[in-house]
Amino acid sequence: MGLPSINIVFKTAASTAVQRSQRGIVGVILKDSALTGAKVMADDSEIPSGLSEVNKDYLEKTFMGYENKPQKVLAYGLAADATDFTAALNYFATQKFNYLVGPPDCSADEAKAIADWIKSQRTDNKRTYKAVLPNTAADSEGIINFTTDGIAAGKIYTAAEYCGRIAGLIAGTPIKIACTFAPLPEVTDVTRLTNAQMGAAIDAGQFIIFHDGEKVKAGRGVNSLQTVTDDKGEAFKKIKIIDAIDMMEDDIRLLTQDNYFGKYPNSYDNKCLLITAIQDYFTELEKGGVLSSGTSNVEIDIDKTKEYLKGQKKDISGMSDQQIKTAETGTHVFLKGTVGILDTIEDLDLSASMV
């Protein structure tokens, strides 16, 4: 009879994950009287000709990407003198995108408003949105704090004016590699920092670009997260790691909603069916080099199941772990799992001896 359809769907999604992750989507908030509302662009040839030169340049640089160009750019135009981003953020709340940026003249207050919205969406609505913002120490895995100024690329750009370029670069970075040391060939120079200053900036959660003596390239691919907890360790400071986590969360949530919820009775056997499907998804990601081989595991979360049963006034004092696993849990399925996300090579320690 072959595998149940849900297993096939999960395995298929995992097998295409690397390809799908190669080109992300960037959202851009603009202030321009020539654009009212939303504009979806597949490439820079679709940039509206009536936009200001500053905004056209901003979008063109967003499309430059890195290994790949962004899949598309979603722009939302507000009045040229707009100070309230509510309409734009309401639009983006209904869209699928990976990275959001403010306008080229994004102020500190506007950057904070976007950062607060992103953090709220990630915490309250379980959306995997992220943003690239200028000089915004948000202490969040969802915010990339871009801090480099004095960017020479035909003219001198501020950090705010180059956030679109950075968002496009990250969105064009495939999931198996990192944006660390990605070159920006159009940039001839930036405000120079010492090695100690660059190290301190990166340790403080700043995304920087720097001149290595020959060319300008990105520093380490980090987000603004600083507060490390048991739930969010040091690895959560890496853009690549968060991109992989967000991809898996999106895939599992949407695949479960579309192929599992409402379609199976909530029996132990059908819970095991979902466990097998998710495990197959992780195994395919291991084969694809996204996850470390042999690290993935999914199982029923006994502790959360116990909490649910207690909340339903069930006497679980004499129940074994297997009885807890097979207990009826209404509409709820409580699972837990572990994965090992592969990072990239970014540090080299080489000792050479004379012969």
**Res. 353: pLDDT tops 50:** no
At residue 351 the predicted structure's pLDDT band, cuts being 50, 70 and 90, is low
Interatomic CA distance for residues 62 and 163, integer angstroms: 8
How does strand 72-78 pair with strand 25-31?
A: parallel
At residue 120 the predicted structure's pLDDT band, cuts being 50, 70 and 90, is very high
**Res. 208: pLDDT tops 80:** yes
| 152 and 48 part of one domain | yes
* Whether the Cβ atoms of residue 34 and residue 50 lie closer than 8 Å to each other: yes
Residue 252 lies in a domain: no
Among 266, 240, 101, residue whose Cα is nearest residue 168: 101
11-21 confidence digits (pLDDT tens): 888 888 877 77
Mean pLDDT lowest for which of 37-51, 159-173, 200-214, 224-238? 224-238
Interatomic CA distance for residues 75 and 53, integer angstroms: 15
> What pLDDT, on a 0 to 100 scale, did the predictor assign at position 78?
97
Q: Regarding predicted confidence, which is higher, 228 or 2?
A: 228
**Residue 271 lies in domain:** 264-338
Residue 256 lies in a domain: no
DSSP SS3 for 180: coil
> What pLDDT, on a 0 to 100 scale, did the predictor assign at position 346?
56
* Mean pLDDT, rounded, for 55-76: 97
| 106 and 167 part of one domain | yes
> What pLDDT, on a 0 to 100 scale, did the predictor assign at position 344?
67
Length of the chain measured in residues: 355
Residue 16 lies in a domain: no
Tell me the average pLDDT of the chain.
93
| 70 and 205 part of one domain | yes
Residue 216 lies in a domain: yes
| 65 and 176 part of one domain | yes
Residue 354 lies in a domain: no
3-state helix, strand, coil in the chain (%, to 5): 40, 15, 45
| 186 and 291 part of one domain | no
Residue 279 lies in a domain: yes
Give the full edge-to-edge strand order of the sheet including 99-101: 37-41, 72-78, 25-31, 99-101, 130-134, 143-146, 206-207
**Res. 345: pLDDT tops 80:** no
| 145 and 283 part of one domain | no
| 129 and 277 part of one domain | no
| 334 and 284 part of one domain | yes
At residue 348 the predicted structure's pLDDT band, cuts being 50, 70 and 90, is low
Interatomic CA distance for residues 230 and 252, integer angstroms: 23
Interatomic CA distance for residues 244 and 159, integer angstroms: 26
How does strand 72-78 pair with strand 99-101?
A: unpaired
**Res. 1: pLDDT tops 50:** no
Residue 174 lies in a domain: yes
Q: How many domains does the chain have?
A: 2
267-322 confidence digits (pLDDT tens): 999 999 999 999 999 999 999 889 999 989 999 999 999 999 999 999 999 999 99
